[in-house]
Amino acid sequence: MNSLPESVMGLDRLVHEPARLVILSALSTAENAEFRFLEFLTGLTAGNLSSHIGKLEAAGYVTIEKTFRNKRPLTTLKITDAGREALKNYRAQMKKALA
């Protein structure tokens, strides 16, 4: 049985999960993003998206801001420096593994 390259085995599993990868990738290209936008982008249910965001927040990869717009709750997310670094490292590892 062949072992996978070290670059694949060392992937950050938190980032590697497809939904979280989409979330981090989207946040990396914008100053911030609203929860509803990420819900639309990922196709996840609100509960499932909340679960993934909670894991990213616990790791320090995103921050969550809860405010109101026209008296309605508004949840906005932003990628942190640690999240940007994790995504950058993940991309470099995948590029190396696929080379």
Q: List, for residues 74-92, the tens digit of each pLDDT value.
A: 999 999 999 999 999 999 9
Structural domain span for residue 71: 6-98
- Report how far apart, in Å, the C-alpha atoms of 88 and of each of 31, 60, 73, 93 are: 17, 15, 32, 9
1 in any annotated domain: no
Number of independent structural domains in the chain: 1
Decide if 85 is inside a domain. yes
Dihedral angle computed from the Cα positions of residues 26, 7, 48 and 40, in that order, rounded to the nearest 10 degrees: 20
Comparing 10 with 28, the larger pLDDT belongs to 28
The β-bridge relationship of strands 72-79 and 62-69 is antiparallel
**Percent share of the chain, pLDDT over 90:** 78
Spell out where the chain has E strands: 33-34, 62-69, 72-79
Give the global pTM: 0.88
Q: State the CATH number of the domain containing residue 70.
A: 1.10.10.10
Q: Which of 1-15, 31-45, 53-67, 83-97 has the lowest mean pLDDT?
A: 1-15
* Interval 36-56: pLDDT, tens: 999 999 999 999 999 999 999
Tell me the CA distances in angstroms from 83 to 39, 77, 98, one per residue in order.
19, 12, 22
